[in-house]
Structure 1
Amino acid sequence: MLFRILHDERSGELSYVLADNDAREAVVLDPRSRDLPVLQALLGERDLRLRWVLRTHQHDQLLPQELDRLRSLGAPVVQCEVSEGARAVRDGEWLPFGHEFLRVLSTPGHTAGCLSFAWRDRVFCGGLLAVDACPHQPHPADPAALWDSITQRIFTLPDETLLFAGHEQRARAVSTVLEQRRWHPFFARQTRDAFLARVAALPTHAAGAATPASGRNTQSA
C-alpha cells in the first residue's frame, strides 16, 4: 500500500493519497486544486488509476471553480453536498479501490453534511475536530450535530483508531480516538450544554485566516 500526506504549511490543510500498488488503483482525500500537478505526478510516477476523489467537506463558496478543477482528475468526486458533477453517497456505503475499501460515515457538524471515511484502523475526518481551527470558517456550521457526530460516531470507535484531520491541530496531523476522547479541548469532560455555550461564544470571524491560494506543500510517508 501507498500512503502519502500533502501538507499546506501556510493554512495547515492536509490531503491524503491511498493506493493499492498491486491493483494500481488510488484514492485522494480532501485534495486541493492547487495540488493537481503534484497529485498527477505522483499518480503518473507509479502508474496508478485514480478511483475516487473524496471530500470530507468543502468551502467552495470561497473557491467557486474548485469542484470543476478537481473533476479534471478524471475520477468521480464524492462529497456531502449534492452538486452537478459530484456524487452523493449514503452513510455506511463502501467505496472500493483495488482490493481495498473505504466506508462512508455521515458526520455532520463542521459543515452541514460532513462525511468521514474509514479505512482499516484509520478514519479521515476532515475538519470535524477543528472546531475553532479551520482556516475558512471560525466555528462549526451546526454545533449540535457536531457534538453528536463526535460523541456518538467518532468517540465510540476503538481507542486505537487513528484519526487523520483535514486541518493541522496544534502541530498534530494524526491522533487516536483515546487521545481525543480524553484531552480534546472542546469535547473531553464536557457536557453537551457546556460545549454548545462555548461554541456560541467563539468569534464570528476567523482571525488571520489563510488565503485559499497561499501555502506550499510537503510530502511524507
Structure 2
Amino acid sequence: MYFRILNDDASGELTYLLADPSAREAVLIDPHGRDLPVLQALLAERDLRLRWVLRTHHHDELQPREPALLAKLAAPVVQGDAPYPVNPSVLPFGDELIHVVPTPGHTGFCLSFSWRDRFFCGGLLAVTACPHQSRPQVPQALWDSVTQKVFTLPDETLLFAGHERRARAVSTVLEQRRWHPFFSGLTRDEFLAHMAALPEQQILTPTF
C-alpha cells in the first residue's frame, strides 16, 4: 500500500492519499482545491487512477469554488449531504475496502472513513480548533459520535484528524479516550454545558 499525508502549514488542514499500487487505484480523503496541481502530480507520478474523493466535512459556504475545483479530479465525491448521498457504505479501491461511518456533530453531516486500523475522523476531535468554524454545529450529535462510534473502536486504532493546528495529526483511541480535554472525564451534560458557554459561532471571511 501507498500512503501519503499532505499538510497545509497555514491552516493546519490535512489531506490523505491512499493507494493500492498493484491495482493502480487511489483514494483522496479531504483534498482541497488549492492543492489540485500537487494532487494530480502525485497521482500521475505513480500512474494511479483516482477512484474516490472522500470528504469528512466541508465549509463550502465559505469556499464556494471548492466543489468545482474538486470536480476536476474526475472521481465520484462522497460526502454527507445532498447531492452526494452516502451509498454504498463500503467503498472499494483495488483490493482494499473503506467503510463509511456517519459521525455528525462538527457539522450536521460529517462522515468518518475506516480503513484497516485507521479511522479518518475529520474535525470531530478538534471541537474548537477548526480554522473555518469556532464551535461544533451540533454538540449533542458530536458527543454521541465520539463516545459511541470513535471511543468504542479498539484502543490501538489510529485516529487521523482533518486539521491539526497546535495539535497532533495522528493519535490513538486509547489516548483520546483517556486525555481528550472535552470528552475525557466529563458527562454528556457537562460537555454540553461547556459547549453552550463557548462564544457565539464566528462568521469567518469567505475565501474565493
**Fold conserved between structures, TM > 0.5:** yes
1:68 alignment partner in structure 2: 68
Within-5 A mapping of 1:73-152: 73-83=73-83, 87-90=84-87, 93-152=89-148
SS across alignment from 1:168? coil
2:22 alignment partner in structure 1: 22
Whole-angstrom CA distance in 1 between matches of 2:167 and 2:128: 15
The code of the aligned residue for 1:40 comes to: Q
Conserved in 1, the CA contact under 8 Å of 2:120 and 2:161? yes
Within-5 A mapping of 1:205-216: 205-206=201-202
Whole-angstrom CA distance in 2 between matches of 1:56 and 1:124: 8
Whole-angstrom CA distance in 1 between matches of 2:126 and 2:110: 13
Conserved in 2, the CA contact under 8 Å of 1:33 and 1:66? yes
TM-score normalised to structure 1 length:
0.90
1:158 alignment partner in structure 2: 154
Conserved in 2, the CA contact under 8 Å of 1:11 and 1:210? no
The code of the aligned residue for 2:7 comes to: H
- 2:37 matched to 1:37? yes
Quote the sequence identity (%).
67
Whole-angstrom CA distance in 2 between matches of 1:202 and 1:120: 36
1:54-78 CA-to-partner distances (Å, cap 9, x unmatched) read 0000000001111111011000011
SS across alignment from 1:89? coil
CA displacement at 1:202 relative to structure 2: 1.2
The code of the aligned residue for 1:121 comes to: D
Change (3 A) 1:100 1:49: same
Whole-angstrom CA distance in 2 between matches of 1:94 and 1:26: 15
1:93-146 CA-to-partner distances (Å, cap 9, x unmatched) read 110000001000010000001000000000000001010000101100000000
2:53 alignment partner in structure 1: 53
The code of the aligned residue for 1:109 comes to: G
CA displacement at 1:162 relative to structure 2: 0.3
The code of the aligned residue for 1:118 comes to: S
2:173 alignment partner in structure 1: 177
CA displacement at 1:170 relative to structure 2: 3.0
The code of the aligned residue for 1:204 comes to: E
The code of the aligned residue for 1:138 comes to: S
Within-5 A mapping of 1:197-212: 197-206=193-202
Within-5 A mapping of 1:1-12: 1-12=1-12
Give unmatched runs, 5+ long, in structure 1.
Answer: 214-221
TM-score normalised to structure 2 length:
0.96
CA displacement at 1:210 relative to structure 2: 9.0
Change (3 A) 1:212 1:177: farther
SS across alignment from 2:182? coil
CA displacement at 1:211 relative to structure 2: 7.5
Whole-angstrom CA distance in 1 between matches of 2:43 and 2:128: 34
SS across alignment from 2:145? helix
Whole-angstrom CA distance in 2 between matches of 1:149 and 1:210: 28
Whole-angstrom CA distance in 1 between matches of 2:207 and 2:28: 19
| Higher relative contact order (Cα pairs below 8 Å, separated by 6+ residues) | 1
